[in-house]
């Protein structure tokens, strides 16, 4: 798929069959790339159980309800930016190619990274780069970006952004381009990726049937921290301190563990090097909607 995809195997559907529903938080104007790839050409999915929809993780519950689905046996959240996105210079995700500084997963709405950098003040830019990129030189990068903008030459392309960051970041991390953290930060911010992830995780509690599996693949520490915390919280019994003799509140998830790619997979797909897959099983405790 060309975009982040959530795949659900429903329980309650009109037909007594298993169905896969792909949710593509997707791209251009009328037919997003992910939808086009799944419905046409050599990549078309010819399976009557499959359908793909242009929406976000946070909208999974109403989307599936519109399809007659109220419960699912499995939910996969693949949080990574896909290779077709990274390798397309027009999308602006990669510092390896020069192209428009867009970075939106869904180019039908929202503000591009270039537009954000053209209007935001130094403090806001620094906060985004620091909080979402964990960049030590966030303030220096922000100062350089604002200085360039005030000179009448704002950053509009990936190449320009890479040049500014390279001059501002004084220490190089082994094997990592100095622009890596800044590009990650702007992408996460522009797409509200962490907020969408939190909404998707919350939706999983309402959607998963007892015994259903939640699988989340994350690709950087900010995402994985949210997933890890969510699963740990929902897998832990809690007590009401105001009622010390009351029974513990039962858990809604049971953590099953995490998986990282092995050497064989990394040789075949080097971009999986940072992937972490966490798995949990839904209990029979009702979700609070």
pLDDT tens string 2-49 = 344 444 444 443 333 344 555 555 433 345 778 888 899 999 999 988
What's the rounded mean pLDDT across residues 91-110? Answer: 92
Q: 164: which 2 tokens?
A: 């500014």
pLDDT at 86: 87
Percent of the chain with pLDDT over 90: 67
Q: What distance, in Å, lies between the first and last C-alpha atoms of the chain?
A: 31
Q: 123: which 2 tokens?
A: 């403090």
SS3 66: helix
- Rounded Cα gap, residues 197 and 80, in angstroms: 11
287 to 41, 165, 204, 206: CA distances (angstroms): 41, 45, 9, 6
Percent of the chain with pLDDT over 70: 87
Higher pLDDT, 285 or 245: 285
Where is 75: in which H helix or E strand? strand 72-78
Where is 112: in which H helix or E strand? none
Alpha helices in 52-210 (DSSP H): 60-66, 83-86, 113-119, 122-133, 138-150, 158-168, 180-190, 193-207
- Rounded Cα gap, residues 282 and 213, in angstroms: 6
- Quote the distance between the C-alpha of residue 106 and its chain's center: 12
- Quote the distance between the C-alpha of residue 131 and its chain's center: 16
Q: Is the pLDDT of residue 82 over 90?
A: no
Name the most confidently modeled range: 24-28, 231-235, 244-248: 231-235
With DSSP H G I counted as helix, E B as strand and the rest as coil, what are the percentages for the chain, rounded to 5?
A: 40, 20, 40
What is the number of other CB atoms lying within 10 angstroms of the CB of residue 268? 9
Domains of the chain (ranges plus CATH)?
5-84+193-282 (3.40.50.150), 107-190 (1.10.150.170)
Task: Pick the closest to residue 114 from 80, 146, 158, 79 (CA basis).
Answer: 158
276 to 57, 60, 170: CA distances (angstroms): 19, 23, 30
pLDDT in tens, 124-163: 999 999 999 999 999 999 999 999 999 999 999 999 999 9
Q: 229: which 2 tokens?
A: 């915390």
Residues 24, 54: contact at Cβ < 8 Å?
yes
- Rounded Cα gap, residues 24 and 54, in angstroms: 5
What is the number of other CB atoms lying within 10 angstroms of the CB of residue 109? 6
Residues 164, 147: contact at Cβ < 8 Å?
no
Q: Which one-letter DSSP state was computed for residue 248?
A: P
Query: Which residues neighbour 116 within 8 Å (Cβ) at sequence distance 6 or greater?
Result: 128, 186, 189, 190
pLDDT level of residue 74 (50, 70, 90 thresholds):
very high
Query: Which residues neighbour 208 within 8 Å (Cβ) at sequence distance 6 or greater?
Result: 71, 72, 73, 74, 75, 214, 282
């Amino acid at each position: 798929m060309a975009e982040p995809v959530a795949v659900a195997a429903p329980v309650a559907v009109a037909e007594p069959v298993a169905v896969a529903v792909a949710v593509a938080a997707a791209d251009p104007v009328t037919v997003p790339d992910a939808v086009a790839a799944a419905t046409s050409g050599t990549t078309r999915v010819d399976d009557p159980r499959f359908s793909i929809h242009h929406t976000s993780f946070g909208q999974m519950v109403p989307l599936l309800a519109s399809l007659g689905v109220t419960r699912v046996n499995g939910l996969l959240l693949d949080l990574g930016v896909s290779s077709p996105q990274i390798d397309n210079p027009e999308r602006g995700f990669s510092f390896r190619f020069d192209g428009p500084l867009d970075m939106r997963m869904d180019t039908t709405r929202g503000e591009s990274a270039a537009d954000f950098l053209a209007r935001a003040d130094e403090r806001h830019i620094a906060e985004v780069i620091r909080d979402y990129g964990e960049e030590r030189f966030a303030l220096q990068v922000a100062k350089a970006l604002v200085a360039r903008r005030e000179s009448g030459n704002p950053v509009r392309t990936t190449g320009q952004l890479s040049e500014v960051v390279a001059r501002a970041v004084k220490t190089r991390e082994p094997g990592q381009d100095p622009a890596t953290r800044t590009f990650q930060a702007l992408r996460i911010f522009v797409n509200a990726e962490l907020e969408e992830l939190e909404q998707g995780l919350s939706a999983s509690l309402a959607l998963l049937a007892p015994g259903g599996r939640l699988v989340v693949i994350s690709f950087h520490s900010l995402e994985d921290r949210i997933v890890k915390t969510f699963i740990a919280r929902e897998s832990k019994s809690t007590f009401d301190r105001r009622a010390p003799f009351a029974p513990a509140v039962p858990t809604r998830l049971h953590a099953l563990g995490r998986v990282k790619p092995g050497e064989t997979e990394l040789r075949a797909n080097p971009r999986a090097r940072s992937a972490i897959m966490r798995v949990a099983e839904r209990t029979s405790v009702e979700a609070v909607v």
